Structure 1
Amino acid sequence: MASLNQIFFGPPGTGKTYATIEAALEILDPAYLKTHAQSREALKNRFDEFAAQGDVRFVTFHQSFSYEDFVEGLRADSDETGQLRYSVVPGVFKTLCLPPSGAYRSFKVGDTYGTGYKIIYVSKDVVTFEKPKGNHLQIGMEMLCFMAEAVLSKQVTVNDFRDQSWDKKLSNSTLDPFIVNGYKNVLPAMVEHMIGGESGGLFDHEHSPKTDTPKVLIIDEINRGNVSRIFGELITLIEPSKRAGADEALEVTLPYSKDRFSVPNNVYLIGTMNTADRSLASMDIALRRRFTFIEVPPNPELLEGVVVEGVAIDELLGVINARIAALLDRDHCLGHAYFMPLKKSPTLPTLAGIFQQQILPLLQEYFFEDWQRIQWVLNDQRKDFDYRFVVQPTQDINHLFGDAVVVAQSNDRWEINTPAFERIESYLGILDHTLKVAAPVQYGAQEVQWQDLTLRQLASGTIEIDRDGQPVKPVLPLLRELAQKHDVPTLWSSGAAYNTRHLGRKVIKLLSEQQG
């Protein structure tokens, strides 16, 4: 069963936001997810359907995102006389938590109400009018639904809103009398439209939405916002044991509307967190203990079989991440998503664009432009000069300034060697500086004999093993036995196991070196 509160965390480019679609469907339609698990297009279409009907909401936290955006806040507006007033507007989370209001008739852009109030925008949260003088007016759906339900429950009539006698019958109402009375020609007409007339003929309780239908709020980059400020008192209410209906359920009085509020147990929170942006250790402790954390590490196996002019991309990513993990930590590794375009276009120009426009700038940020450590990650210090991505140009101080100027001869200047991105040797050198394009045996077809086994790597990269002339299948378990005997690593830096091709290359290379 899916957790009510969960966060996907990992380095950039590992597919955290990508994973939220499947996580949402696991909550909203697990049967569909199971049936269409192999079709990303089908899953995205189903996800979009839920989003269109309001069962999924998406928001991105940032430094300016606030409690007023998330829970509720005040919005300034002017009435028909031009006087400024403030109304309470629900935020994205409160809107998702509100119970469904029933099968109300919807509004349409272009319709007019009152004396020339024309609808120019409609959403599940708000209706925006253009006033006769050109100013705009926003009416919250929460207020309209409250008015409609008061009419349907026979507490008031639509005419009570017109003649301003409604407040005597709704003594405990949170409606703003100034807003309701100020738009007495607009709001009653809207309510009457919603319920199909004074009697509410279109309203059908039997076919109204179920209140226990799951809802999902996806919070991208959850660690980039000020969590304490955004959640406020709701940080306690999102706990499973504090949700509405639970044994220890709690509710609070919201500061603006003064409504009593609790978080229903059908609302799920799914967050994503980039560990390179902020360390997991610095995450708000109050939030950390209320969420389950799911790591999304780099997955080089998704790049299996992707080869660019002899360079195995899965191995390239694994080697780079191993060096980053040694120099920094696992939180700053590179995600496989950066290299996914190579699956459709496994060409040198595509690889060069990825390195020049994404990988190298990211490394500059990771290492605060410590170019020497960037060189170590790319193995530049062991390559020929022409194949280095980062180089130290030579400079003649005397030629620049003359003999009369004394300048220290320390060479701290670094430059990006642009031509290196267009040379396949530059990428081969990341794996092994001794590899040359003229000697493709390391990545082409080769064969080695060990005891009664023949290990063979085809030109396509496929690994085959024969025992006394008979094929061995499956290959991977035997490869792992051989790797264990010969102390060959079997895991990527992320902890994921090598695939058959990668492990096979490692074992064949070691056995060839032992026999050579």
Structure 2
Amino acid sequence: MSLWKLGCRWGSNTPLFYDFIKENNIVIGWGGKTYNIGDWLLITDGFSVLAFANVMTEPKTCLNYPQYQNEFLKLKIPFQHELFVYKAEWIVLKREDQFNYDLQQGIARVQNYEIKIKFKSLLNKYKKAMDLEKKIEILKNKKQIILQGPPGTGKTYTAKKLAERLTENYSTSLSEKEFVDLLKVGAKIPNASGTTDYYTIKDVSLDKVTLGSEKAQQDWSPKFNQIKIKFDQLLINEVPSNKNALEPYELAVAKYLFNKLNSAGAKNNFYQLIQFHPSYTYEDFVRGITAKSTDGIIEYKTEDKIFAQFAKKALKNYNDSKKEQVEISKEKWVNEQFEKFVDFISDDLEKNGKIVITDSVNIVKLDFDAFRYKGIEGWTKNGNRMLFNDIKQAYLDENNERQDIKHNQNLSGLANWHASYYIRILDLFKKFLLDKSLNFVPSTSEKEELKNFVLIIDEINRANLPSVLGELIYALEYRGKKVESMYDIDGDNSLIIPPNLLIIGTMNTADRSVGHIDYAIRRRFAFVDILPDPSVIENEIAKALFKEISELFNSRDTLASDFKPEQVQLGHSYFIVNNDGELQLKVNYEIIPILEEYLKDGILLEKAEKIIVDLKARFEN
């Protein structure tokens, strides 16, 4: 491969033909065979390098392209048999990547070493970006992919890059409501400076929180807006800086809120990463029964696990994105008024100990997302749960009678079965709105944006996939369709995987468990190879060592016939080091152990043993 420079003016004071050759995906040369297939060109305007072009075909005289004649003449390019046209693939540089090459000649071979290094670096950068975009296109089309390759090729790293790229413009900032709801008077907040001291919350308002400390005789009152800045920095993994005396308190509160929201599953960066292992089950991944203690009573509850929780978040966004602004504004209004209604019920419960639904059934307590109701006789001690969301949805669906709730498919199964109880609470909510003169006024709130939700499943092949996925094997192919789980929650056993939930699995092809993935699952995933890339290795000794070890996997004298090199060859990440000392550590504690493991498992043959022993001896000292 040679590197050339092509200036886009045919002499001084002539028109620029850059746009013309770019739009037609061609380059031009003068006389004979200037370029070869595979050569690269720096496309310039004067000294400014604007793009790279890769030659894809043998040359043809411009006379073979009569459709170009008029344009060539306008651009002062001679339309003669000595002018040759080559088809090319173009990479247009972003403005910040454009650079100067101080060479006057219009067509010339590049000899400058620094320019060659600059070109190589930028080409590698753009190739990686293009490769990432290609994987994104596959993922968006197929909805779930598995990045497969031997150990050390950066499969998990690539999965994270894909997820970040697909969700990079989304905001998950802190709201005032979350700020007030999660900061409770008396709660202890760890000191962000790392000391053992704790701050105690003394007061909370919409715009600030007041903190005290046992070791200080003063209070601090960091403001919501200042805390929000630190929270946003934590979301994008930036370490907030310390610029003023108040900042440690702002950061302490931001970290407290960040951890609380993430642990509650209420806040997430639109992508999550989990890792499968051999004992992983459907009950760990999708939905299962968990023992919970409520007021000292053990209660067995069905709970959504990470996949079902994430799918519900994605489904809500998918459905909301199809709604009109007025519909969204009404839902927001109902949510706000229902919070007031719950406070009203809570106060009434505190005074009277119950809220009467019928002569024999009462609301007896509140969960964070439901009313607890039970009868006088024959009910479990904790009763049943009446989801807040069911009452709000029944209101939005304009249900007015028991039969409306009984046949409303937007509600849970329990709401359909116990419609006579639910209609009474719905009527109570309507009366509350009427008594308080709370009326909905339509507004044109911002339309919900359809967003990508990305779940990364690291080491996906290590679990028994048919067992872990269950009915999701069907749901993966039929996005947006309900499937029935073996477990129900509040009378509803349905699960839906929406189109905006994308799944990225990673799989080590050297692991023999890859053979356990059956055809039904293989058909639903696109398999994308992530192979060793020596171009990212900068240390020269490490680069030479990578080449040496690669030969073990490219010879039938040392690699078992059951394996292909691309399945088991050590990846580049083992050889990315900052210095020779770090390389020595990686050789002794990462590279040699895995090569010895390959020997033991029969992946590498007996002839490889001497090479490994020699390698071990070289790096021992």
Structure 2 counterpart of 1:97, from 286, 306, 311: 311
Counterpart for residue 483 of structure 2: 252
Provide the residue aligned with 1:338 in structure 2.
Answer: 574
Q: Which deviates the most, 54-63 or 5-14?
A: 54-63
Q: Secondary structure at 2:619's aligned position in 1?
A: helix
1:6 CA drift (Å): 0.8
Q: Does 1:361 align with 2:596?
A: no
Whole-angstrom CA distance in 1 between matches of 2:520 and 2:437: 49
Q: Extract structure 1 runs of 4+ deviating beyond 6 A.
A: 41-44, 113-116, 126-129, 166-169, 200-205, 369-372
The aligned amino acid for 2:393 is: E
Preserved CA contact (<8 Å) 2:595 2:612: no
**Contact residue 324 and residue 377 of structure 1 kept, 8 A:** no
Aligned counterpart, 1:163? none
2:285 equivalent to 1:70: yes
Task: From 456, 460, 472, give the equivalent of 1:218.
Answer: 456
Q: Does residue 22 of the first structure (1) align with residue 161 of the second (2)?
A: yes
Deviations along 1:60-95, one digit per CA (max 9) or x if unpaired, are 111222212222222233444x44433331122222
1:297·1:335 contact (CA, 8 Å) conserved in 2?
A: yes
Instruction: Please say if 1:233 is aligned against 2:471.
Output: yes
Query: Residue 311 of structure 2 contacts residue 501 of structure 2 at CA under 8 Å; is this kept in 1?
Result: yes
SS state of the match for residue 298, structure 1?
A: coil
> 2:84 matched to which residue of 1?
none
SS at match of 1:13: coil
Q: Counterpart amino acid of 1:365?
A: E
Cα 1:21–1:389 shift into 2, 3 Å:
closer
Cα separation, 2, equivalents of 1:198 and 1:421? 81
Q: Tell me what 1:323 maps to.
A: 552
The SS at the match of 1:265 is: coil
SS at 1:357 equivalent: helix
- From 11, 24, 27, the counterpart of 2:150: 11
Please give the secondary structure, in 2, of the residue aligned with 1:379: helix
- Counterpart residue type for residue 421 of structure 1: F
Q: How does 1:238-317 map to 2 (within 5 A)?
A: 238-239=476-477, 242-244=478-480, 250-257=481-488, 258-278=492-512, 280-304=514-538, 306-307=539-540, 312-317=541-546
1: CA distance, partners of 2:503 / 2:274: 11
Q: Which amino acid aligns with 1:337?
A: S
Structure 1 residue 146: Cα displacement: 3.9
Q: 1:205 and 1:285, CA in 2 relative to 1: closer, same or farther beyond 3 A? A: farther
Query: How far 1:11 sits from its partner (Å)?
Result: 1.0
What value does the CA root-mean-square deviation take over the aligned residues? Answer: 5.0
When residues 9 and 15 of structure 1 are mapped into structure 2, their CA distance, relative to the original with a 3 A threshold, is: same
**Separation (CA, whole Å) in 1 of partners of 2:267 and 2:554:** 42
Distance 1:357 1:167, change over 3 A: farther
Report how far residue 364 of structure 1 moved: 2.3
How many Å separate the matches in 1 of 2:609 and 2:441?
A: 67
The 8 Å contact of residues 167 and 271 in structure 2, kept in 1 or not, is answered as no
Deviation at 1:379, TM superposition (A): 2.2
Distance 1:366 1:302, change over 3 A: same
Q: Judging changes above 3 Å, is the alpha-carbon distance between structure 1 residues 288 and 168 closer, same or farther for their aligned structure 2 residues? A: same
Task: Indicate the larger mover: 8-17 or 315-324.
Answer: 315-324
Query: Identical aligned pairs, as a percentage?
Result: 27
2: CA distance between counterparts of 1:252 and 1:6?
21
- Which sections of structure 1, spanning at least 5 residues, go unmatched? 33-40, 117-125, 130-136, 157-165, 245-249, 391-419, 424-516
5+ long unaligned stretches in structure 2: 1-136, 172-232, 239-257, 321-330, 351-366, 371-381
Any idea what SS the aligned residue of 1:259 has?
Answer: strand
2:619 alignment counterpart? 421
Note the C-alpha offset of 1:334. Answer: 1.0
Q: Which amino acid aligns with 2:568?
A: H
1:335 and 1:74 map into 2 onto residues whose CA distance is 41
Between the two proteins, the alignment pairs up a number of residues equal to 325
CA 1:293–1:43 in 2, change beyond 3 Å: closer, same or farther? farther
Q: 1:69 to 1:380 in 2, by over 3 A?
A: closer
CA gap 1:288/1:281 in 2 versus in 1, 3 angstroms:
same
* 1:358/1:284 CA distance change after superposition, 3 Å: same
Quick one: structure 1 residues 69 and 148, their matched pair in 2 at CA, closer, same or farther if it must change by over 3 Å? farther
Matches of residues 149-160 of structure 1 in structure 2 within 5 Å? 149-153=393-397, 155=399
Looking at structure 2, the residues matched to 267 and 207 of structure 1 have their Cα atoms a distance apart, in angstroms, of: 23
- Matching of residue 389 in structure 1 with residue 616 in structure 2: yes
Partners of 2:390 and 2:412 within 8 A in 1:
no
**What amino acid does structure 1 have at the position aligned with 2:466?**
S
Partners of 1:2 and 1:27 within 8 A in 2: no
C-alpha separation in 1, matches of 2:145 and 2:406:
41
Alpha carbons of structure 1 residues 323 and 83: separation in structure 2 relative to 1, 3 Å: same
Taking the TM superposition and a 5 Å limit, the aligned residue runs for 1:41-52 are 45=237
Is structure 2 residue 276 aligned with structure 1 residue 57?
A: no
State yes or no: 1:85 paired with 2:299: yes
Per the alignment, do residues 42 and 16 of structure 1 end up closer, same or farther by CA in structure 2, a change over 3 Å counting?
Answer: farther
TM-score w.r.t. the length of structure 2 is: 0.43
Deviation larger for 331-340 or 257-266? 257-266
Change (3 A) 1:127 1:351: farther
Shift in Å at residue 360 of structure 1?
A: 1.6
What are the Cα deviations for residues 220-239 of structure 1, in whole angstroms up to 9, with x where unaligned?
11101111011111102212
Aligned equivalents of 2:280, 2:495: Cα separation in 1: 21
Q: Is the 8 A contact 1:217 1:270 kept in 2?
A: yes
The CA distance in 2 between the partners of 1:44 and 1:375, in whole Å, is: 49
SS of match in other structure, 2:498: coil
Conserved? CA contact 1:87–1:176, under 8 Å: no
Please report how far the alpha carbon of residue 203 of structure 1 lies from its aligned counterpart in structure 2 after TM superposition.
11
Per-residue displacement from partner, 1:292-342 (whole Å, max 9, x unpaired)? 1111111111114x13xxxx32221122122034314322211111221x2
C-alpha separation in 2, matches of 1:318 and 1:202? 70
CA distance in 2, matches of 1:202, 1:256: 40
Task: String of CA shifts for 1:407-447, please: whole Å, max 9, x gaps.
Answer: xxxxxxxxxxxxx4244xxxxxxxxxxxxxxxxxxxxxxxx
